[in-house]
């Protein structure tokens, strides 16, 4: 791992803040910021002459994604955000009235609302109740019926930090002929992921969280063998095989996930993401996960009021830790008072969601616990 000085150079937010809120939004890393500024300078100086270079960068970024996630470059496409990507699944399946979708009841609204919207097409959403603040793979599989077409779930739950056994879920779903759509927003860039081994048909994640890049960039993964199980909900310039052949209006769909792309790609976001992804590779996926998990364990062990998921198996505990807000910590002034001490965490109803990343140190955890121990509600 890098020295503290090197980390502060890479993540300027860490110079003055104890930043424990990456699950909400990662602090922009310097390589991503530099890449975005370089894009603006180049387009300002040379305009359209720079576009070929950024098309090449886009293609190289897809190759980098393929290396990081053990997939193929053609299985990735860049979209506006993770929910935009997820909606390509719900809009792309050839639903029939009476079909069913299975999902955890406590999942992210960006997952559940597109599923709920399927009611207008006669599709039933089956929400599986949480058990000990978690919905396990076995519960989701048990909720399937002969009418089930899709299981959708987050790999890591944003509310609780519960880590779903995706490989078990996807293997079980495949045996039943059920498709799987997994939201990797809270695990991509945090946990080491092998899309080839996990087996999900479709996956989504964002650049802005654990990769610490820019907003408004979602990544859509479509497993090669599952490509023809989705139909693009509409077509645009880049959805076809030869997008710049303007005289051939009616064309075959583009090969791979690019068929879900509509207009011009967000080059500045992709340039920033590619730089952030390169940093992630340089640090090492295994090292990033190990650092996050170690800090997560430290937080769980030091929690005086307890935390969610204490009885979960170790493999179900992601680096996201939700401390219980009991007694004086339930006071509504807790969030602003932590911020006064330079501590950034997500203070929510009943919990403090703490999401450490590899750039954090144990001293950050110490400062959080010192602040919680010293906290007294204002009279």
Domain boundaries defined on the chain: 4-20+285-374, 32-281
Each residue's pLDDT tens digit, 117-135: 999 999 999 999 999 999 9
What's the average model confidence in pLDDT over 7-29? Answer: 98
pLDDT at 376 over 90: no
DSSP labels for 321-376?
EEEE--GGGGSTTHHHHHHHTTEE-EEETTEEEEB--TT--HHHHHHHHHHHHH--
Model confidence, pTM? 0.96
Which CATH number describes the domain made up of 4-20+285-374?
Answer: 3.90.1150.10
Please give the share of the chain, as a percent, with pLDDT higher than 70. 99
With H, G, I as helix, E, B as strand and everything else as coil, classify residue 1: coil
Q: What pLDDT sits at residue 358?
A: 98
The residue whose two tokens read 């809120």 is 21
Q: What pLDDT sits at residue 377?
A: 79
pLDDT at 16 over 60: yes
What's the average model confidence in pLDDT over 187-212? Answer: 99
Each residue's pLDDT tens digit, 276-296: 999 999 999 999 999 999 999
Please give the share of the chain, as a percent, with pLDDT higher than 90. 96
What's the average model confidence in pLDDT over 321-342? Answer: 94
Each residue's pLDDT tens digit, 353-362: 999 999 999 9
Tell me how far the alpha carbon of residue 247 is from its chain's centroid.
39
Identify the CA nearest to 77 among candidates 242, 250, 263, 251.
263
At residue 269 the predicted structure's pLDDT band, cuts being 50, 70 and 90, is very high
CATH architecture observed for domain 32-281: 3-Layer(aba) Sandwich (3.40)
pLDDT at 344 over 80: yes
With H, G, I as helix, E, B as strand and everything else as coil, classify residue 216: coil
* The 124-128 sheet, strands edge to edge: 76-79, 218-222, 202-206, 179-183, 148-154, 100-104, 124-128
pLDDT at 160 over 80: yes
Phi-psi label, residue 108: left if phi above 0, alpha if psi -120 to 50, beta otherwise: beta
> Bridge partners of 277?
none
Each residue's pLDDT tens digit, 102-121: 999 999 999 999 999 999 99
Q: Are 111 and 150 in contact (CB under 8 A)?
A: no
Q: What pLDDT sits at residue 184?
A: 99
With H, G, I as helix, E, B as strand and everything else as coil, classify residue 253: strand
**Over the chain, what is the mean pLDDT?**
97
User: CA 16, 21, 27 angle in degrees (round to 5)?
Assistant: 60
pLDDT at 145 over 70: yes
What's the average model confidence in pLDDT over 14-18? Answer: 98
Q: What pLDDT sits at residue 379?
A: 56
What's the average model confidence in pLDDT over 204-208? Answer: 98
pLDDT at 298 over 90: yes
Identify the CA nearest to 26 among candidates 12, 9, 5.
12
Return all residues near 343 (Cβ < 8 A) that are at least 6 apart.
Answer: 17, 18, 20, 367, 368, 371
Each residue's pLDDT tens digit, 302-320: 997 789 999 999 899 999 9
pLDDT at 275 over 80: yes
Q: What is the Cα Rg of the chain in Å?
A: 21
Residues composing the chain? 379
Tell me how far the alpha carbon of residue 243 is from its chain's centroid.
29
At residue 181 the predicted structure's pLDDT band, cuts being 50, 70 and 90, is very high
């Amino acid at each position: 791992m890098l020295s503290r000085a090197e980390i502060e150079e890479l993540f300027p937010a860490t110079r003055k803040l104890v930043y424990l809120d990456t699950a909400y939004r990662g602090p922009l890393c310097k390589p991503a910021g530099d890449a975005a500024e370089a894009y603006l300078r180049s387009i300002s100086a040379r305009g359209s002459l720079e576009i070929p270079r950024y098309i090449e960068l886009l293609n190289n970024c897809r190759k980098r994604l393929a290396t990081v996630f053990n997939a193929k470059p053609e299985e990735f496409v860049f979209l506006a955000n993770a929910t935009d990507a997820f909606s390509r699944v719900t809009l792309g399946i050839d639903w029939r009235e009476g079909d069913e979708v299975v999902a955890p009841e406590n999942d992210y609204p960006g997952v559940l609302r597109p599923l709920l919207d399927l009611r207008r097409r006669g599709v039933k959403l089956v929400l599986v109740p949480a058990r000990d603040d978690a919905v396990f793979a076995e519960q989701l599989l048990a909720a399937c019926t002969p009418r089930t077409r899709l299981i959708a779930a987050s790999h890591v739950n944003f509310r609780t930090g519960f880590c779903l056994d995706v490989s078990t879920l996807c293997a079980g779903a495949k045996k039943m002929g059920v498709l799987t759509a997994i939201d990797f927003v809270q695990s991509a860039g945090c946990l080491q992921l092998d899309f080839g081994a996990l087996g999900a048909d479709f996956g989504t994640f964002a650049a802005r969280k654990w990769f610490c890049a820019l907003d408004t960039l979602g990544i859509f993964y479509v497993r090669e063998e599952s490509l023809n199980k989705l139909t693009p909900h509409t077509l645009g310039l880049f959805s076809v095989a030869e997008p710049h052949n303007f005289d051939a209006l009616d064309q075959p769909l583009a090969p791979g996930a690019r068929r879900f792309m509509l207009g011009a790609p967000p080059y500045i976001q992709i340039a920033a993401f590619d730089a952030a992804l390169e940093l992630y590779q340089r640090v090492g996926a295994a090292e990033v996960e190990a650092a996050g998990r170690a800090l997560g364990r430290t937080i769980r062990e030091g929690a005086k009021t307890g935390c969610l998921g204490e009885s979960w198996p170790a493999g179900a505990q992601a680096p996201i830790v939700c401390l219980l807000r009991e007694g004086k910590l339930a006071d509504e002034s807790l969030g602003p008072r932590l911020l006064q001490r330079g501590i950034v965490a997500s203070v929510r109803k009943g919990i403090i969601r703490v999401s450490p990343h590899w750039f954090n140190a144990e001293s950050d955890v110490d400062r959080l616990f010192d602040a919680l121990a010293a906290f007294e509600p204002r009279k």
